[in-house]
Amino acid sequence: MGVKLFGARVARLEDPALLSGKGRFVDDVKLPAMLHACFVRSPHAHAFIRGIDTSAAKALPGVHAVFVADDLPAPMSGNRMPMLVPNPAIATQLTQYCLAREEVCYVGQTVAVVIADSRYIAEDAAALVDVDYEPLPAASDCREAAEPGSPRVHSELQNNIASKFRQSYGDVDAAFASATHIFEEDIWQHRGGGMAMETRAVVGDFDPVRDLLTVWSATQTPHIGRRMLADLIDRNLESIRFIAPDVGGGFGPKAIFYAEEAVIPAVAMKLRRPVKWIEDRREHFLCATQERDQYWKVAIGVDHNGKIKGVRGTLLHDTGAFVPWGIIMPYIAGATMPGPYVIPAYGLDVTVVLTNKVATTPVRGAGRPQAVFAMERLMDRVARELGLDPAEVRFRNLIQPEQMPYSVGLTFRDGKPLIYDSGDYPQAQREALRLVNYDTFKERKAALLAKGRFVGLGIANYVEGTGLGPYEGVTVRVLPSGKVAVATGATNQGQGTRTTISQIVADQVGCRIEDIVITIGDTAAISQGVGAFASRQAVNAGSSAKIAGGTVRTQIVKLAAQALGLPEGDIEIEDGVAFGRGGNKPSISFRDLYRLAQGMPGFSLAPGQTAGLEHTAYFTPPQASYCSGTHVVELEVDPMTGAVKFLNYAVAHDSGTIINPLIVDGQVQGGVAHGIGNALLEWMKYDENAQPLTITLADYLLPMATDVPTCKIAHIESPTPLNPLGVKGAGEGGTIPAPAAIIAAIEDALSEFGVHFTETPLMPDRIVAALKDAGAYEKLKVVA
């Protein structure tokens, strides 16, 4: 075999096109006679629709059609959208209609759609659609919405509780009865958006000759999209093709199937013209799903050494107006809370609450940042109250490597027992502490404090369930040219899927990576697919690539042995050529093998030979694989302005075997940036009527280059036994513990003043307000 690509820092195959402006995103799709769409959206968080007058909009020159719910094809017009992850624990099976019928339940909900010659005209016309609304009281805050008598999110429901369930193990009451100390915290992590730089986008094109409906969508899940659309317009699956071309970031919200993805293709079919809709940034703020809002009330019981006896509490989850993705986020949150610690007893009562806001579905981390924030805030509280070093308290409670596999006692979101498959949690914490010279931190802090500078350090550990099923597939096929075609249902929103899958296949088959021809995100290329969420693609598609590539290699060896008259054991493969190991090294190229593999018309294939050199594998994981890690953050706070400056950011993470360190480092670093946004900047503000107030990037702040430090990254590789590559997910671990570590560091930096923070985002004004309340400025004056 040639140079092994697996594990190497292979430069990405995606890059040359993207660097020269030749990427192909949905808005780059230009079709003859294409029309453009603009949606009419609800300006109210809650209202009845009394009537819609579209006559003025239809009369505008350049407008081709205006559709309301009844104009859509059946069953889409009268049916609610399918729920992606149903669960018997969901009391309220509510998803929205593609276009609203009698009631709208959040600002931005789709009410009608205008189709015109250009987006400019479509927007003009959308403003002329006259909707007669009867505004209704709205529920904005999930804590109030959960109370009896609060405004109802949907007029047809009796209350706003979408689901209630309990996650627990052990004797929680006995554990707390035996605890020496009990500490309680109220914790809130606030919602924010995925905010991919490319907004959502859909193009629909119907070809009546082939009876084929083609949909380009900036989606993470094209196969799921195809299935949903087929259900909504009652159409044969094979007569719909979904394509996710280059996609400009996903981060979770693009994994959802949206009303717009259903309406645009349906309209294109009806009008027999291609139709394009490109979401603008305002629409992204209003209608792309968001995540995080969770209120935790949790308590920890410990003995006099800080050893955990038990953890218990309640969790209130804001699901927004609908439940399109089920209740997996609060479910994941509850299952993530125990994390890397030995917790003998655990109990969490979860309530999922509807509000008149856009639905919450997974955003990078998906329920885990909240859980880690809650658990790590408790650990810091224990350290402070008992006068222990925060690192030491954690070391005393971490699951030890010899305890692996470790059964937590809960059921995870995949329906399987929560069993950590592998990992060395103390090692990760040691590595991360080493990267920031933890041993000398206290001296550094004291020296700087003497100069009036406030430096702090925060630690956060996490365990993350990754690589969820059901499966992902890869087809490997030798082409007539001798190149190797690869197709997968896995998708690419910047994760380098094209490169990592190609690395694996090239190694397995024995060809140059340049000779891989890969098709990603196209339902026409492979029959089954799932897509990108839950850091699952390297695990599932990667394993399928190994299995499919390995099978094709076996086929090649067999055929080459026959062709060269050698035993199979003497065949080697390199750079697309199979050759005999000994003697004069007779050889045969993939190109010639392809022809042999086709057989001859009228003649049978040799016994055991299959048609072509081709195999499709669909790897399905037996359960989630659990990656883990530690973030250690050193930062400085300016107490006068509340500004936070990072001095050191260390990440030690274990995502199992690493396929491409360049890409994993990028995933970690990028994930940290998202976590910094959640911790310090990103605030999706709604008023008391659930009207969104932050709908531009000027008032909803994303991390900039001056906000994000370059991380020091250490890889701990504990290969999982759950798949043939030993890989675990890598996309979300950068985000998950970041807010916990950052807030802890800010609190530590300001420890002189005894301020305590249990919410995010922690913005400068809130730091200043807390310092003011603590009388910090009186103390600072004395120092000055």
Partner 1 sequence: MKKKVSIKINGKMYEREVEPRLTLVDFLRHEIDLTGTHVGCEHGVCGACTVLINGHSGRSCLTFAVQADGAEITTVEGLAAADGELNALQQSLRDNHGLQCGFCTPGVLISLTELLRDNPDPSEEQVRDVLTGNLCRCTGYAGIVAAALETARRAHGEARS
**Residue numbers of the site for partner 1 (CB under 8 A)?**
11-12, 14-16, 18-25, 27-28, 30, 120, 194-199, 246-249, 251, 278, 280-281, 493-496, 662-663, 665-666, 669-674, 696-698, 702-706, 708, 710-711, 734
For the bound state, the minimum distance from the C-beta of residue 453 to partner 1, rounded and expressed in Å, comes to 19
Nearer to partner 1, 401 or 666 (CB): 666
CB of 679 to partner 1, least distance (A): 14
By beta-carbon proximity to partner 1, the closer residue of 28 and 71 is 28
Judged by CB, which is closer to partner 1: 526, or 664?
664
Nearer to partner 1, 398 or 736 (CB): 736
Q: Which is nearer to partner 1, 281 or 297 (CB)?
A: 281
CB 733 within 8 A of CB 670: no
Best CA proximity match to 406, nearest among 169, 708, 694, 166: 169
Joined tokens for residue 471? 């499966």
In order of 6, 19, 468, the CA distances from 715 in angstroms are: 16, 29, 22
- Smallest gap, in angstroms, from Cβ of residue 663 to partner 1? 7
Tokens matching residue 707: 């906000």
Residue type, 520: I
Residue 320 CB, nearest approach to partner 1 (Å): 22
Cβ within 8 Å of residue 387, ≥6 positions away: none
| CA dist., res. 731 & res. 490, Å (int) | 14
CA angle 556, 558, 562 (to 5 degrees): 115
Burial 357-371 (b: 16+ CB within 10 A, else e): bbbbbbbbbbbbbbb
User: Based on CB atoms, which residue is closest to partner 1, 251 or 425?
Assistant: 251
Q: Are strands 35-41 and 275-278 parallel, antiparallel or unpaired?
A: parallel
The answer to whether residues 491 and 532 touch, using CB atoms and an 8 Å cutoff, is yes
Of the candidates 571, 640, 564, 559, the one whose C-alpha atom is nearest the C-alpha of residue 598 is: 559
Beta bridge partners of residue 350, listed in sequence order:
165, 315
- Rounded to a whole number of angstroms, the minimum distance from the CB of residue 701 to partner 1 is 9
Q: CB-hemisphere CA count at 13 Å for 99?
A: 25
**Angle, vertex CA 73, rays to CA 71 and CA 79, nearest 5:** 100
Residue 424 near residue 405 (C-beta atoms within 8 A): no
From CA 251, how far away is CA 46, in angstroms rounded? 28
How many residues can be counted in the chain? 784
- Pick the closer one to partner 1 by CB: 16 or 567: 16
Least separation in angstroms between residue 20's CB and partner 1 is 5
* Smaller CB separation from partner 1, 313 or 677: 677
Q: How far is CA 230 from CA 225, 233, 397, 527, 601, in A?
A: 8, 6, 50, 14, 38
Give the neighbor-by-neighbor strand order of the sheet with 516-520.
Answer: 516-520, 484-488, 472-478, 614-619
For the CB of residue 754, give the shortest distance to partner 1 in the complex, in Å: 33
Nearest distance from residue 495's CB to partner 1, in Å? 7
* Cβ atoms of 86 and 113 closer than 8 Å: no
Dihedral sign, Cα of residue 675, residue 677, residue 679, residue 685:
negative
Closest distance of CB 36 from partner 1, Å: 10
CB 369 within 8 A of CB 735: yes
Where do runs of H (alpha helix) occur along 217-324?
Answer: 222-233, 259-271, 281-287
Residue placing its CB nearer to partner 1 in the complex, 123 or 575: 123
Using DSSP's 3-state secondary structure scheme, residue 57 falls into helix
Question: In whole angstroms, how close is the CB of 23 to partner 1 at the nearest point?
Answer: 5
3-state class of 577 per DSSP?
A: strand
CB of 30 to partner 1, least distance (A): 7
Give the nearer residue to partner 1 in terms of CB position, either 399 or 673.
673
**What distance in Å separates the CA atoms of residue 44 and residue 597, rounded to the nearest whole number?**
63
> Are 23 and 667 contacting, i.e. CB atoms less than 8 angstroms apart?
no
CA separation for the pair 420, 111 (Å, rounded): 46
* Residue 249 C-beta: closest distance to partner 1, Å: 4
Q: Which is nearer to partner 1, 126 or 597 (CB)?
A: 126
User: For residue 665, which of 726, 750, 730, 599 has the smallest C-alpha distance?
Assistant: 730
Shortest CB 331 distance to partner 1, Å: 26
| Residue 177, number of CB atoms within 10 A of its CB | 12
Distance between CA atoms of 297 and 316, rounded to whole angstroms?
Answer: 9
Which residue's CB is nearer to partner 1, number 449 or number 763? 763
- By beta-carbon proximity to partner 1, the closer residue of 153 and 520 is 520
Distance in Å, CB of 667 to partner 1, minimum: 8
**8 A C-beta contact, residue 263 and residue 96:** no
Question: Least Å distance between CB 704 and partner 1?
Answer: 4
Task: Tell me whether residue 62 or residue 599 sits nearer to partner 1 (CB atom).
Answer: 62
Reading the block at residue 190, the tokens are: 């606030």
Q: Which pair of structure tokens corresponds to residue 74?
A: 């059946």
Name the residue nearer to partner 1 (CB basis): 320 or 703. 703
Q: At its nearest, how many Å lie between partner 1 and the CB of residue 325?
A: 21
Cβ proximity to partner 1, 30 vs 781, nearer residue:
30
Cα(605)–Cα(472) distance, integer angstroms: 30
CB of 289 to partner 1, least distance (A): 16
Cα separation, 627 vs 716, in Å, equals: 10
Which of 34/299 has CB closer to partner 1?
A: 34
